[in-house]
Amino acid sequence: MLVRLLYVSRAAELPSAEATQSILDSARAHNTANGITGILCYGGGMYLQAIEGGRKQINALYTQILKDPRHIDVVLLHYEEIVERRFGSWTMGQVNLSKINASTILKYSETVELDPYKMSGKVSLALLEELIMTASIIGRA
């Protein structure tokens, strides 16, 4: 059974480009081996991540994320059983939120400063879908 999980977290320390790349590299290796796909959005010290795959694998990964000292204030935004993947082309696509057009953020947010903690899971997923349609996601590896 396929599921999709969406969460937001804050970086325990202000992440560097190297730290973010390290997270992406380890996620891609782990996710490929476990049939997990998804997208990671980062910016302003926050991570917004959607992951998809088998229920057992997704639940195990989320448990790891909750224990990961690099993440604080982890909040589950959305969890659902799915018929098909939305992010199946990515082992872990990436979006730098600080480089997104302000009008795109304003479409889904109260202000031009994106705060996923104040957004519903459905709104966050709609934003991710828009980022796919506007080719704002990189790293199809």
Query: Comparing 14 with 47, which gets the higher pLDDT?
Result: 47
Output 37 or 136, whichever has higher pLDDT: 37
Higher pLDDT, 90 or 40: 40
Residue 140's pLDDT band, with cuts at 50, 70 and 90, is very low
pLDDT at 141: 45
Structure confidence at residue 28 (pLDDT): 78
Q: What is the pTM of this model?
A: 0.85
Question: How many distinct helices (H) and strands (E) make up the chain?
Answer: 4, 5
16-38: per-residue pLDDT in tens?
777 777 777 777 788 888 999 98
Q: Of 68, 88, 83, 61, which is closest to residue 22 (Cα–Cα)? A: 68
Q: CB under 8 Å to 65, separation ≥6 — which residues?
A: 7, 9, 49, 71, 74
Q: What is the pLDDT of residues 105-133, one digit of tens each?
A: 889 888 888 888 999 999 999 988 887 77
Is the pLDDT at 15 greater than 70? The verdict is no
Which amino acid belongs to residue 126? A
Quick one: tokens of 107? 């479409």
Residue 66: the pLDDT is 95
Query: Tens digits of per-residue pLDDT, 42-97?
Result: 777 888 899 999 999 999 999 999 998 888 999 999 999 999 998 887 666 677 77
Residue 16 — φ and ψ, nearest 5°?
-90, 170
Q: What does the pLDDT read at residue 29?
A: 81
